[in-house]
Amino acid sequence: MSLNQPKMKIIAYLKPHCGVMAKYNLDFEDRDIWNDMSQRIEMVQKSGQELSPCVEINGHMLADVSGDEVENWMLAQGLVQRIQTSVDVPTDRGCSDEEHAAQRGEIPVQFKG
C-alpha cells in the first residue's frame, strides 16, 4: 500500500479463482464463499443477494461487482489514486453467467423467518 493511501478494511467474498485487489497491492480478508457455507451466508445477508464477487470496503458493500467497478468506487471515494499497472487477473468483469448459474444451484441459502 502506498504511504499516501488511507488504511482500508476490505473484505472480499470470492470463489478461490476470482481476484480483484492485485492492481493496488491492497491487503484484504479473503472470504471463501465457495468452500465455506458460513461465509456465503454472511455475504448474502450483507449484500441482500447471492451473486459474487462482493467486496465490502470500510463497511460499504459492493455487490456482484467487477474489479473495475471496485476500482472506480475507491477512486471516487479518494481511497486510492489511479495507477497504470497491469495484473494477471481480469478486472473488467465479475463472474461469468455460467459461474453465476453454477453458484446459484450449488449452495442454496435459506434464511430463518
φ, ψ (nearest 5 deg) of residue 106: -85, -45
What is the per-residue pLDDT for 13? 75
Tell whether 5 is covered by a domain.
no
Tell whether 64 is covered by a domain.
yes
Q: pLDDT category, 103, cuts 50, 70, 90?
A: very low
Tell whether 113 is covered by a domain.
no
pLDDT digits (tens, 9 = 90+) for 38-69: 999 999 999 999 988 899 999 999 999 888 89
Q: 90: domain CATH number?
A: 3.40.30.10
Tell me the residue range of the domain where 87 lies: 10-106
- The 8-class DSSP code of residue 16 comes to T
Number of structural domains found in the chain: 1
Tell whether 33 is covered by a domain.
yes
pTM for this predicted structure: 0.68
User: Is pLDDT of 17 > 80?
Assistant: no
Element housing 32 (H / E) = strand 29-32
φ, ψ (nearest 5 deg) of residue 39: -70, -40
- State the Cα–Cα distance between residues 96 and 111, nearest whole angstrom: 26
Tell whether 15 is covered by a domain.
yes
What is the per-residue pLDDT for 60? 96
What is the per-residue pLDDT for 46? 94
φ, ψ (nearest 5 deg) of residue 87: -130, 165
> How would you classify residue 76: left for phi > 0, otherwise alpha for psi between -120 and 50, otherwise beta?
alpha
Tell whether 57 is covered by a domain.
yes
- State the Cα–Cα distance between residues 39 and 86, nearest whole angstrom: 30
Which residues have CB under 8 Å from 87's CB, separation 6+?
22, 23
pLDDT digits (tens, 9 = 90+) for 78-88: 999 988 877 66
What is the per-residue pLDDT for 44? 95
Tell whether 101 is covered by a domain.
yes
